[in-house]
Amino acid sequence: MPLRPRRLLPLFLLLALLPLRTSVGRGEGAEQLDFGVRAAKKGLWREALFRWEKARKLAPDNSRVLNNLAVAYETNGDFEKAEELYKEALKSEPDNRDIKQNYELFSSYYRELRSRKERDQAKESPAAAQPADKPDLPPEQKTPDAPPSP
């Protein structure tokens, strides 16, 4: 069954937008964080990303901001950045159940995605799957895997 990121998106969004224990504080950082949440709920992920990046500048170690940014990058397909941010959020607040759950869901999905990509690449280029000790010869000159019959 193929993975469908859109099927998982509502779950990720729900978990990302749950109130976390760490607060940004009052002022512009909190406003940017809240604005980003409202934008994400409307599906405006670029706007949410922009607002959460602004909030991050004001509170760089805030686990809630880092978690929400990770979800936004994940939604936009930047999985490497998402993974980095999830790890930062966990480092900032290692016992946070919501961040752990988001990271576990993301990691599971991302591992499967990478695995599928590797399988697809192996299917597309069978020469890459050939053992290195065999020369890259045209098909009619390649040695068989089994010894020839007598």
Q: Going from the N-terminus, what domains does the chain have, and what CATH number goes with each?
A: 10-117 (1.25.40.10)
pLDDT value of residue 67: 95
Q: In terms of pTM, does the model score above 0.85?
A: no
Higher pLDDT, 124 or 140: 124
Task: Work out the pLDDT band at 147, boundaries 50, 70, 90.
Answer: very low
Q: How many CB atoms lie within 10 A of CB 54?
A: 17
* Mean pLDDT, rounded, for 68-86: 95
Side chain identity at residue 113, one-letter code = L
Task: Work out the pLDDT band at 120, boundaries 50, 70, 90.
Answer: confident
Q: How far apart are CA 113 and CA 82, in angstroms?
A: 14
Task: Work out the pLDDT band at 143, boundaries 50, 70, 90.
Answer: very low
Top-ranked range on mean pLDDT: pick from 17-21, 56-60, 111-115: 56-60
Q: In this model, does residue 9 exceed pLDDT 80?
A: no
pLDDT value of residue 145: 46
* Mean pLDDT, rounded, for 16-21: 47
The per-residue pLDDT for range 40-61, each reduced to its tens digit, is 999 999 999 999 999 999 999 8
**Long-range Cβ pairs for the range 25-28 (8 Å, 24+):** 25/59, 27/58, 28/54, 28/58
Q: Output b/e per residue, 82-100; b: 16+ Cβ within 10 A.
A: bbebbebbbebbeebebbe
Backbone angles phi, psi at 52, to 5 degrees: -70, -30
Task: Work out the pLDDT band at 124, boundaries 50, 70, 90.
Answer: confident
* Mean pLDDT, rounded, for 80-99: 95
Q: In this model, does residue 20 exceed pLDDT 90?
A: no
